[in-house]
Structure 1
Amino acid sequence: MKLSLNTLAFLMTAATSVAQTVTIPATTGSLPPAGPNGCAAGYYPGTDTVLYTVPYTYQQVLSVIGNYTNLTWSGSPANSVTTNNSAALASNDWTPGTARFYDIAGAHVIETITTYSKPANGPYVEFHTLAPLRIASYDVDFYGDFDGQVWQPVCGGRATAANFTINFCASNATTGAAVLHLLHMTDAVTVGQYLGGQNYTSCAALGGNGTATGSNGTSAASGTATSSPAAVYTGAAVGQATGVLGALAVAGIVACANLCL
């Protein structure tokens, strides 16, 4: 099964609908009701997508990302992530309604699964909601009804392509898009580093067959800025979009030690 961007868009819509029926931990995990712009009052909508390919097999990638409460590859120390689904800790079988809780960069993060699938031969599909949180160091608040990642084998199984896409609402959509973009790009790069640090260039360079879906660094982001509700932020690769994104990119991989979701 290969997921095109059109297929992902369809799944995003379906997952958002499912999120309305999944039980989210009411104490702190609930999402605020949407206003006329699709977001709560004082928030503005945006979306961000990161496409990245690592020259490692799907099974290798799954060994890093395949446990919902192990986020060492995303900056959280081992055994620091908790869940409301204690049975899954032993089975590693994560289901809709499962939430994970962790604290990082001064923020308490709650992410609740709406869709989860990890067949042996791919693709890995994980969609969750992101409860409201604040990143004080960038003076931004945001939440998301769809925060998804898909990893699928490409190049005849010799590489794995990732798609991180989030639909979010932020107090400043420009800053929110930049922060989320950096976080997801850093996550994707870190998975490759965990597996050996080789860079993907092409299927031909791997000696395999197939066509990779997306080249490294390819991305898209958009969000309505708070300073001008009509202004739209758009970005290409990390560090090439705006001063905000470029400034964040200076921190590079080091940022993930202090700021990862």
Structure 2
Amino acid sequence: MSQREYVPSLIIGASMLGLGLALGRDGNAVVLEGGNAVGSEFIRSFKLSEAAYSPVTAIGKKVQEDCVSRNVVDAEGRLHLAGFMPFMIKQLTDAKLDVRMQTAVVDVKQQDGKFEVTYYDASGLRTLIADELIDTTPLCVTKPGVGHLKYKNLNMMLQGLSRQEAAAGLEGFSIRLGRFEAETVLQFPIEPGDGWVEARNKLFQFWLNRPAALQSCAFVTHADDFEMGYNSEQVSIQPGWEWRPSAYYNHPLEALEHGYRLGKGGY
């Protein structure tokens, strides 16, 4: 018998959009996260924005100011990926958000105008009853197959390119710069249907036969998650049940702000 609990808003994924939504709901939300991290769609996929992002909300400006003061973001807006996750964990802890890690959604039912979501955690099966259900995960775990990917990358970190060389780019590939020189990321495109075996094989073959401009570089590591892109920022599954992939946005603060404004009833 699963334990039952009511919550006005149920958010799937401790993504940047999901955390923004929870902040906007002023504590009237529960966030379920399948992993043990936050903002993975940006941090663990090595997704870096090509351009700086200028926040438009008070909360976005405050987060950016705090990031700059802690050397997580530089004056040009470049992000230190490794430092951003603990920073965000502190933000959600200070805000006392109800974020439940290492959970797995088992079933979703609609009954009497509400959503019954059964999930599994270390204590067993639990059921949350919610007025609204917003899935912010990359592949919509509450309704797999509901959306389609525009693109998919397996990003890799390089060492050996100067800032000037990286900024100049590499023909056929996109290179993104993080806060520090060691955070030079090459976006390696793969097919949307590729799994980890296919993606890694393609990446390693590329590296073995890499272009002359990369011959002197070192392959530091590849991302733990895929970078994904989408044609649409929102898919309505049923009234009150939406898929809003956080990875649709180019910058984590953009996703956070968009979620916050949605949580406050904007858009």
TM-score (normalizing by structure 2): 0.23
TM-score (normalizing by structure 1): 0.24
